[in-house]
Amino acid sequence: MATPTTEKKTLTFALMDAPYENERTVTALRLIDIAARRGYNLTVFAYEGAVSLAFAKQAPHANAVHGRDAAQEDHPMPRDWIAAVLAVAEKNGGKIDWINCGLCVDERGVGEAIPGTRRGSPADLWKAAEASDNTLVIGTR
Amino acid sequence: MEKYLFIESRDPFESRDVEQSYDLAAQLAREGKTVTLFLVQNGVLPARKSAASAGLEKAAQAGVQILADGFSLRERGIGEGRLTAAVKPAPLDVVVDQLAEGRKAIFF
């Protein structure tokens, strides 16, 4: 097993899955969280359905079948997970440049993203990959 | 020496393509490359001794290091005692370690 390096690394992750659809999103955010806790500098390029992960208007809802209101249901919001990993990175001296593909955003009408994320283009993914120690693409199947 | 990281998230009972990723990992190892096959999500299911474990055992014999995400194992109720000898449990941190090391990585 490799010994964790204390050197500050730069990694890029490309995510493609829409929220609530696949466990790959959880795995991706677990990886980003681990790297953020190490203070690495990270670029996350969200494209296709993944641009909805940071959509600011995701709303928690009640569950009438189980008789729970929205607070009791405590529905997980991917936008909150992203805000959490952004905060973890900052706390540990690193940073996350979270880029939502603008073409994909426009197609889906999810232009209102949470603070700390930004709009970009596929060219940003290329630039980030060029500047990174490594890149992991987690594509939809 | 070239080093590779294969991250396999699929269950071989869901997709026959999984056998091909095992075979590719084994082939690289036979060529003298350093290869880790990291199982995650439903990819950990064949880590439990079963009819689907043969592909993993074959890859291990070829020299592939095979690790299974401890969190994914716990989510699926697979205890360490039920794993085939070819597979060792490991934290997801290993993936970040190997990415940081600069391994060629692919997520299946």
Residue-level pLDDT at A141: 82
Q: How far is CA A77 from CA A56, A82, A95, in A?
A: 10, 9, 21
CB B5 within 8 A of CB B103: yes
* A124 pLDDT higher than 90: yes
Q: How many C-beta neighbours within 10 Å does residue A32 have? A: 26
**Nearest residue in chain A measured CA to CA from B90:** A1
Q: How many C-beta neighbours within 10 Å does residue A71 have? A: 9
CB A117 within 8 A of CB A82: yes
Distance CA A55, CA A113 (A): 5
Q: What is the mean pLDDT of residues B26-45?
A: 97
Q: Which of A90-94, A108-112, B23-27, B80-84 has the lowest mean pLDDT?
A: B80-84
pLDDT tens-digit readout, B47-91 = 999 888 999 999 999 999 999 999 999 999 999 999 999 999 999
Question: Residue B7: its chain A contacts at CB < 8 A?
Answer: 136
Residue-level pLDDT at A7: 82
pLDDT tens-digit readout, A15-62 = 999 999 999 999 999 999 999 999 999 999 999 999 999 999 999 999
Q: Which of A101, A89, A90, A88 is nearest to A14 (CA)?
A: A101
Q: Which of A61-65, B29-33, B86-90 has the lowest mean pLDDT?
A: A61-65
Q: What is the mean pLDDT of residues A121-135?
A: 97
Residue entry with tokens 């050197």: A7
* A6 pLDDT higher than 90: no
Residue-level pLDDT at A3: 55
Residue-level pLDDT at B51: 87
Q: Enter the pTM of the model.
A: 0.94
B55: containing domain: 3-107
Total number of domains in chain B:
1
Cross-chain Cβ contact B96/A35 below 8 Å: yes
DSSP letter string, A120-138: E-HHHHHHHHHHSSEEEEE
* A1 pLDDT higher than 60: no
- The pLDDT mean for chain B works out to 96
Q: Which of B39, B52, B45, B23 is nearest to B88 (CA)?
A: B39
Strands B65-69 and A134-138 come out as unpaired
Band of pLDDT at residue B37, cut at 50, 70 and 90: very high
Residue-level pLDDT at B52: 87
Question: Residue A141: its chain B contacts at CB < 8 A?
Answer: 10
Q: What is the mean pLDDT of residues A117-131?
A: 97
Residue entry with tokens 């941190």: B93
Distance CA B64, CA A16 (A): 28
A residues 38-97 closer than 8 Å to B (CB): 38, 40
Distance CA B7, CA A138 (A): 10
CATH of the domain at B14: 3.40.1260.10
**Nearest residue in chain B measured CA to CA from A29:** B92
| Residue that wins the pLDDT comparison between B1 and A70 | A70
pLDDT tens-digit readout, A71-107 = 999 889 999 999 999 999 999 999 999 999 999 999 9
Residue-level pLDDT at B1: 80
